[in-house]
Amino acid sequence: MENPDEIIYIKRILNGETNLYSLFLERYSRTIHSLIVRIIPSKEEAEELTQDTFLKAFRKLDTFKGDCSFSTWLFRIAYNTAISATRKKKIIFPLIDDTMLENASEELMDTVFDEDDNEHRLQQLEEAITKLNVEEKTLITLYYTDGKPVAEIAEMLQQTSDNIKIKLFRIRKKIYVLMTK
Amino acid sequence: MNQDKAIIKALKSMEGPTLSDDFSSGMMNRIYLVAAKKKRRMYIGTLCLISTVSLGMISMAVYLLRDYLSDKLTFHLPSLASLVESVSRYGFGFYIAFLTFILIALDYYFRSAWQKHKNENLGHSNL
């Protein structure tokens, strides 16, 4: 995932070639926005937070050490920015009893999704996804929509890969429970 | 896995609002403003630092010329008295100015070297 070109661009931006920053905007603005919009569904707010993310990244560009890829670093800023916005809004997410999650077996989950063309199931699934908390929405967006590997997601969210795998597994169970509730 | 496929499908159908067309151009205008502000702040900071250091050096020179060299040095270091007296006050002033110049030059050199080193590290760590 690391891109040597990006390091060169960063050096040049730091040396005064500000216009090169537009390359990063072109490359990442859509993916950053699609992540933020999952967390903050309002169009205006999501766009504003995307702007904040790029401004923060520009201001702190000299602190980018290159110990991870630029996209990982940028996604981390986007995630933290979106999280701060949700904290201000105090959004309440439904809590699921742990025993309900334990009872959901993989076989059961798969049988529910056998008819994946079913419109009703799809609608239920969409509703269940909207009920997930911020971290869970971020995880499934990064994993399923952006196709990021578990290791990169772990680096972004500053957690271990095993932890991310467990969380993804629990999210799948939670979606199932929310759908069948 | 069926559930994975279904989640991907649901997420795709849930695609929210997209970015406005002028997002990049608007964003770049803000970035240019931030860059200009950053540059101006750095310039003012450097100017303040240089002024403070210069003022400090000048104050020290004035203090030394007026209060210290005039009588105390001859009292504390009687053996050097004749030598110090022979050096004019203007000469001492030039000496201090020269020292200031050397210090500013060294500061510039080390700053450049540090910046170069930092940029190289940034490049090597990811290449």
Q: What is the pLDDT of residues B5-24, one digit of tens each?
A: 888 888 887 777 788 888 88
| B126 inside 8 A of chain A by CB | yes
- Contact between B2 and A31 (Cβ < 8 Å): no
Residue B123 pLDDT greater than 60, yes or no:
no
Mutate which: B14, B21, B39, B40, vs A, most A CBs within 10 A = B14
Closest Cα in chain A to B38:
A59
Contact B11 A144 (CB under 8 A): yes
- What was the pLDDT predicted at A1? 42
Which residue among B14, B23, B127 places its CB closest to the CB of A29? B23
The set of long-range contacts for A81-88, using a CB threshold of 8 Å and a minimum separation of 24, is: A81/A36, A81/A49, A81/A52, A81/A53, A81/A56, A82/A35, A82/A36, A82/A39, A82/A40, A82/A49, A82/A134, A82/A138, A83/A39, A83/A134, A85/A39, A85/A40, A85/A45, A85/A49, A86/A39, A86/A40, A86/A134
pLDDT in tens, chain A (181 residues): 456 788 889 999 998 899 999 999 999 999 899 889 888 878 888 999 999 999 999 999 989 888 888 999 999 999 999 988 888 776 666 666 666 666 666 666 666 666 555 778 888 888 888 888 888 988 998 998 888 899 989 988 889 999 999 999 889 888 888 887 6
**Which residue type occupies A130?**
T
Which of A1, A13, A15, A18 should be substituted to probe chain B, the one whose Cβ sees the most B Cβ atoms within 10 Å?
A: A18
| Minimum distance, in Å, between the CA of residue A169 and any CA atom of chain B | 11
